[in-house]
Structure 1
Amino acid sequence: MPFPTLRTWFEKKPSVEPPRKDRSHLRVGIAKVLNVWSTHQFWVGFLKELGISSENIVFSSDTSEEQGREFGKGRGTVDCCYPVKCISGHYGELVFGQKRNINILLSPMIHSLPSILHGHVVDTVTCTRVMAGPESIKAGFLKESDIFAENKILYASPFVSLGDRHMVTQQLFTSLKNIFDLDMEETARAVKAGFDALDNFTAKARQQSRDILTWCAENGKPCILVLARPYHMDPGIGHEIEGELQAHGYPILWLQYLPGDDDLVNWLFEEDVKTGRIKSPFDISDVWTSSYSSNTNEIMWGAKFATRCPWITCVVRLSSYECGMDQPTYTPAQKIVEATGTLYFKFGDLDSTKPGGGIKIRVETIVHYLSKYSAEIIQRKLNCLSPDCPLVGARRSDPAVST
C-alpha cells in the first residue's frame, strides 16, 4: 500500500472549490458546418459548463445561396469541396449578421470523431480537407484586413480529436486557454460535460431510430436509410431530399444514429460472426480494409446494416460534388446494399444547384419502387434471419406487409 509522504501529509487542500470565473457576458458564435452537425452537443455542453448561457451560444443558420451571397461574397478561398466553400457564408453571418455581436467565433478543426465503430476499425479520423476547412476559409477574412479584429471578435479554431477522448482536455486547454481564460481543471470538467451531453443526445437519437424500426416491424411498414456524411443533414447541402421522401409517409433513418444495441446487431450479423467472416457485428474488414476515415467507415457499415435489416427496403446515398472520400465507396456500398435486393438510389455531385424538377421526378420514382417491391424485400430478408427477432412483433411468419 502507498505510504503518505510529507508532501501529501501537509499539502493544503481547499475546503471548497474556487469560485468559477464569470463568463456570462461572453457570446460565442459557432459555424454550423461540416462535422459540427454530429458533434454540436459536445460544444454546447462544453460551453455551458464554462458558464456561458444557452442564449449566448449562437449557431449560424442552415446553408443557403442567400447566406453565401450576402455574407460570403468576395471572401471565398480556392477549394473543390462544396461544403467547405460554404463556410465563408457562415462566418460572414456570425460576424455581420447578428443583432447582438458575438465575442468569439468558434470553428473547431475536428481531427477524429466518436464512432459506434471505435475499436473495431483502424481509426476514426476525418477527411483532411474537412478538418482543415476552417483555417482555409479564415484566410478569406484576413486577405485585405483582419475582419475579426475589426469587429472585436476572437477567432478560435482548436485542433481536437473527439475520437480520442483522453487527448481532448489537453488539446482544448492548449488552444483555448487564452480565449476563455481557462485552467486545466475547469477544462477537464467542461470536456466531461461536453461528452456527457453528446453521449446523451446520441443515445436518445439511436433509441428513436430503434423505435422507428420497432414500429415498422410491428406494422409491416418499410423505411428508408440515408447514407451520407453528417453535413448532408444541412438543407443547403443535402437539399432536403429525405424530407421529400418522408412527405410520402416513409420513415427516415440517418446512418449516424442507427441503433447499435447488442441484441439487434447480433441478430442481423449472427451468421457472419458464426462463420468467422467477421469478428463482431461492427467489423467491416470483410468489405473495407482501409478503415481509417470515420464517416467512410460508417457509410460502409450502414450499407451492411441496411442490406440485412428487413424493414430498410431502400437506401438513399447522398454525396457532394466530386467528393474524393466518397468516390471509392460508391460501387462497394451499392453492391452490398443490392446483394439482398434492397433498393439503392444515389444523388451524387450535390452542390449549390437544386434542380427541383429533377429531384421531384426521382423522388416519385423511388416512391413507386418502394410501394411495388417493399413487401417482397421485407419477406426475403426475414427468410434469411433467425425467427427470434428482438424487435417487438417481428417474426418470419408475419402477415402480409403493407406499404
Structure 2
Amino acid sequence: AGLSISVVKNALYKVIRAVDSKAIGREIVVQGGTFLNDAVLRAFEQEIGHDVIRPTIAGLMGAYGAALYAHEKAQAAGKAMELSTLLSKEALEEFTHSVKAITCRGCSNSCKLTVNTFSGGRKFISGNRCEKPVTGVKSTEAQYNMFEEKRKLLARYTYKDTGKPVIGIPMGLNMYELLPFWYKFFTTLGYDVKTSPASNRQLYLKGQHTIPSDTACFPAKLMHGHVEALLDEGVDAVFYPCMTYNFDENLGDNHYNCPVVAYYPEVISSNIQKLKDTVFIGDYVGLHRRHDFPGKMYEILRRHFPNGTFTKKDVKKASDAAYAEYDLYMRAVRAIGDKFLALAEEQHKPVIVLAGRPYHVDPEINHGIDGLICDCGAVVVTEDAVACKEKKFPTKVLNQWTYHSRLYAAAKYVVDRADKRVNLIQLVSFGCGVDAITTDEVRGILHDGGKIYTQLKIDEITNLGAVRIRLRSLFAALDLQ
C-alpha cells in the first residue's frame, strides 16, 4: 500500500507537478502499464477523491498512439499506401531474440555495449558513446564540443617530476574548474603537482568502501576513489580545501558553493583512514577574498609544512600568479564558446547549451552525453561560456550559489537569443537536493521565453537508451517548431 501511494504521489506532485489533487480535473482517463495494477489505480482514486476510467488496453495505449501518429505522418507525406515494415503474424511466431553484453575496444571510451540479435541476423546495439560500434567507423564530420575543449585545457596542467615535494589534487567536484588556480599556486611556490587519474569504474570502486552514505551525488562519491588513488601513488600531501564561497561573478544574491562542494573535504577526512598517515590540507579557504587570501594560505601552509622554506612574500607572489592563471583559463573557455557560437551561425547548426556544473565535463560522470549531442549534428557550448553575457536579473528563488547563478543566466541567454536554433539541456546528478530548486527555476525561465526545457538525470548507471530517446525527441520537436 505504501509503495502504491508513493508511486501516485510522486507522479502527481513531482512529475505532473499538480498544485493539489483537484488541479488535474474530474473526467480522467488513465493509461500505462502501471495502472493495470489495481492497488496503484485505487491509490490514485483515493488521492484525487473520485473514480477514474481505466481502459482495458491501458498498457498498450502508448503503442496505439505511436501507430496512429506514424499513420498520420505517412498520410501527410503522401506515403499512406506504402507497405508497413511491421512483422507479419507468421514472422512473429518464428521471432527470436538474444542479448549479449560486451566491451567495445574500438576507441578509448571502452563502452559497455548491449548487443540485441534478432531473427535473420539483424542487430541493435546500445550503450555506445560514438557511432563506431554501429557503423564500424567513427564519424569524420567536424564536431564542436566545448566539453572536449575544456578537457584539453585542463590536460595542460600535468605532473612534472622535478624532485620537489608533490602536492596531490583529486580531480573532481570544484577542482575541475579550480585546477588552473591551484596548479599555478603550488608550482610557483616550489612544489610539484600531481592530479589523480582519469575517472573510471575501477577508480570509483577503489573508494567505495569509504563512502558513508549512498544518498550523496555520484560526483561526490567519486572523490573517494580519487583521494585513494593519490594516496596509493605516494604523494607528499593531499590538497582538498573546504570552500564555503566561490568567486563572485555578480550574477546572484550571493556566491556560495553548494554544501557538498563546499564541505566534502570534511567527509573525506572523516572516512578515509589512510589519510591519517599523510598530510591532508582540508582547511577552509576563500578565493573570493583576494586581499586576505595570501596571509591565510601562508598560515595554513606553515601549519602543515613547519619546515617549509617559503616566505610570506613567496606566497603572495604565488597567489598573484594563481589569480592570473585562473583568469586566463576562464577567458579561454569564453573565447572557445564565442568561436563555437560563431561557427554554428555560419554553418547553420543547432546549438545546445549543455548546462551543469564544472565536474560534468568528466566523461565518467556525463557518460558521453556531450558526444551524443554532437552526433545529432549540434554544437555543444557550456553554461560558463554564455552566463557572462548576461547581467544579474530577478529570479523566483534565492539566487545564492555561483554554479546555479550560471544556470539561470545561461537559460536567460538562450531565451534572449532570437535564433531558434539555440537551446538548453540541463544535466542533473541523482542525489543533488539543490537541483530540485534549480530545475524549476531553469524550466520557468525557458518556458516563459517560449523555449523547450530538457533535463537529463545522470548517475553511475551508464544506460544511455533513455538519453538517446530524449535527445531525438528534443531535436524532432525543434524541427517541428
TM beyond 0.5: yes
Per the alignment, residue 90 of structure 1 pairs with 226
| Counterpart amino acid of residue 200 in structure 2 | S
Once the two structures are superposed, the pairs formed by residues 69-88 of structure 1 within 5 Å of their partners are 69=205, 71-78=206-213, 80-82=215-217, 83-88=219-224
Match of 2:267 in 1: 136
Distance apart, 1:259 and its partner CA: 6.5
Distance in structure 2 (CA, Å) of the matches to 1:61 and 1:258:
30
CA distance in 2, matches of 1:257, 1:157: 30
Q: Structure 1 residue 89: deviation in Å?
A: 0.8
Q: Partner letter of residue 169 of structure 1?
A: P
Change (3 A) 1:206 1:323: same
Supply the distance in 1 between the matched residues of 2:193 and 2:254 (Cα, whole angstroms): 31
Question: RMSD in angstroms over aligned alpha carbons?
Answer: 2.1
Aligned residue for 1:283, secondary structure, equals coil
1:109 is paired with a residue of what secondary structure? coil
In 2, are the aligned partners of 1:210 and 1:259 still within 8 Å (CA)? Answer: no
Identify the match of residue 32 of structure 1 among 142, 156, 171. Answer: 171
Contact 1:75 1:88 in 2 (8 A): yes
SS at match of 1:161: coil
- Identify the residue that residue 205 of structure 1 maps to in structure 2: 333
Task: Quote the sequence identity (%).
Answer: 21
1:245, 1:318 → 2: CA distance? 13
1:272-322 deviation digits (Å, cap 9, x = unpaired): xxxxxxxxx4112x2245222111111111111111124452211111113
Question: Within the alignment, does 1:215 sit opposite 2:343 as a pair?
Answer: yes
| CA displacement at 1:32 relative to structure 2 | 0.8
**Which of 368, 371, 381 is the aligned partner of 1:253?**
381
- The structural deviation recorded for 1:164 is 2.8
Change beyond 3 A, Cα 1:253–1:184: same
Work out whether residues 169 and 187 of structure 1, in 8 Å CA contact, stay in contact via their aligned partners in 2.
Answer: yes
Counterpart contact for 1:227–1:299, Cα < 8 Å: yes
What SS class does the counterpart of residue 185 from structure 1 fall into? helix
Report if aligned partners of 2:387, 2:406 keep a CA contact under 8 Å in 1.
no
Matched residue of 2:194: which SS? strand
Alignment check: 8 A CA contact 2:208 2:221 kept: no
Q: Which of 226, 238, 248 is 2:366 aligned to?
A: 238
Structure scoring higher RCO (CA < 8 A, sep ≥ 6) equals 1
Task: Specify the SS of the correspondent of 1:111.
Answer: coil
Q: State how far apart, in whole Å, the 2-side matches of 1:325 and 1:304 are.
A: 20
Question: How does 1:208-357 map onto structure 2 within 5 Å?
Answer: 208-258=336-386, 260=388, 265=389, 281-284=390-393, 286-288=394-396, 290-311=398-419, 313-348=422-457, 350-357=458-465
Partners of 2:240 and 2:282 within 8 A in 1? yes
Counterpart Cα distance in 1 of 2:347 and 2:263: 46
SS of aligned partner of 1:25: coil
In the TM superposition, residue 344 of structure 1 has moved relative to its aligned partner by: 2.2
Write the distance in 1 (CA, Å) between the matches of 2:361 and 2:183: 19
Matches of 2:177 and 2:312 in 1, distance apart?
26
Counterpart Cα distance in 1 of 2:292 and 2:383: 26
The equivalent residue for 1:59 is 195
- Residues 347, 282 of structure 1: alpha-carbon distance in 2 compared, 3 angstrom cutoff: same
Change (3 A) 1:125 1:141: same
Q: Which of residues 79, 95, 110 is equivalent to 2:243?
A: 110
Residue 150 of structure 2: aligned partner: none
For structure 2, which runs of at least 5 residues remain unmatched after alignment? 1-161
Matched position secondary structure for 2:190: coil
CA distance in 1, matches of 2:297, 2:385: 26
User: Which residue number in structure 2 is paired with residue 386 of structure 1?
Assistant: none
CA distance in 1, matches of 2:448, 2:381: 20
Q: Which secondary structure does the structure 2 equivalent of 1:202 belong to? A: helix
**1: distance between equivalents of 2:281 and 2:315?**
15
Residues 251-286 of structure 1, C-alpha deviation per residue, up to 9 Å, x if partnerless?
1111122273xxxx4xxxxxxxxxxxxxxx4112x2
| Counterpart code for 1:225 | V
- Whether the aligned pair in 2 keeps the contact of 1:288 and 1:300 (CA below 8 Å) is no
How far apart are 1:79 and its partner, in Å?
5.9
| SS at 1:78 equivalent | coil
Which amino acid letter does the alignment assign opposite residue 43 of structure 1? W
Indicate the SS of the match to 2:244: strand
* Mapped partners of 2:253, 2:465: distance in 1: 42
| Aligned mates of 1:204, 1:131 — CA distance in 2 | 25
5 Å-filtered alignment, 1:171-186, equals: 171-180=296-305, 181=308, 182-186=310-314
In the alignment, the residues of structure 2 paired with residue 62 and residue 288 of structure 1 have an alpha-carbon distance, to the nearest angstrom, of: 38
Q: Could you report, residue by residue, the CA deviation over 1:173-216 in whole angstroms, capped at 9, with x for unpaired residues?
A: 22222335243211111111111111001101101111111222
Correspondence 1:369 to 2:477 = yes
Verify the 8 A CA contact 1:245 1:367 in the aligned structure 2.
no
Distance in 1 separating the partners of 2:208 and 2:356: 28
Question: Partners of 2:289 and 2:418 in 1: how far apart?
Answer: 34
Q: Which ranges of structure 1 fall in alignment gaps of 5 or more residues?
A: 1-22, 266-280, 377-403
**Alpha-carbon spacing, 1:149–1:121, altered in 2? closer, same or farther (3 Å):** closer
State the AA in 1 paired with 2:413. F
**Aligned-partner Cα distance in 1 for 2:438–2:342:** 29
**What CA distance in whole angstroms lies between the structure 1 residues aligned with 2:359 and 2:384?**
11
Q: Secondary structure at the match of 2:243?
A: strand
Q: How many residues align?
A: 315
Contact 1:229–1:295 (CA under 8 A) maintained in structure 2: yes
Q: Once the 2 structures are TM-superposed, how far is the Cα of residue 24 of structure 1 from its aligned partner? A: 4.6
Assess if the C-alpha contact under 8 Å between 2:351 and 2:381 holds in 1: yes
Q: Aligned with 1:175: secondary structure?
A: helix
Q: Is the 1:77–1:137 Cα contact (8 Å) retained in structure 2? A: no
